[in-house]
Amino acid sequence: MLTADKVLDRYYLDVRCMLVEIAATLDRHDRAVADDAADSARDPRLDKVYEALAVLAEGSSTADRSERLLNMFSDLD
């Protein structure tokens, strides 16, 4: 297993890239909504995305974020 520092050394830029990609996707969606007045209903998939981002934004958490996100995106009923 890598040390905490080495994890960031190795994966920090990956994380940066993925976060920017998420931001760009949300921007893309916002622009599309602004362009299409008829498309006013909020898509429930977007709520899932923001819910997932809230999990990632927790300052301290247990190391099971990926499992929680995958469950969040699953039909569990």
Positions touching other proteins (CB under 8 A) are: 13-14, 16-17, 20-21, 24-25, 27-28, 31
Instruction: Specify the residue, 25 or 71, whose C-beta has the smaller distance to other proteins.
Output: 25
Q: How far is the CB of 39 from other proteins (least distance, A)?
A: 16
Q: How far is the CB of 40 from other proteins (least distance, A)?
A: 21
Instruction: Specify the residue, 14 or 75, whose C-beta has the smaller distance to other proteins.
Output: 14
Sign of CA dihedral 64, 59, 31, 43: positive
Q: What is the signed CA dihedral for 42, 44, 49, 50, rounded to 10 degrees? A: 60
Which of 15, 10, 73 lies closest to 46, judged by CA?
73
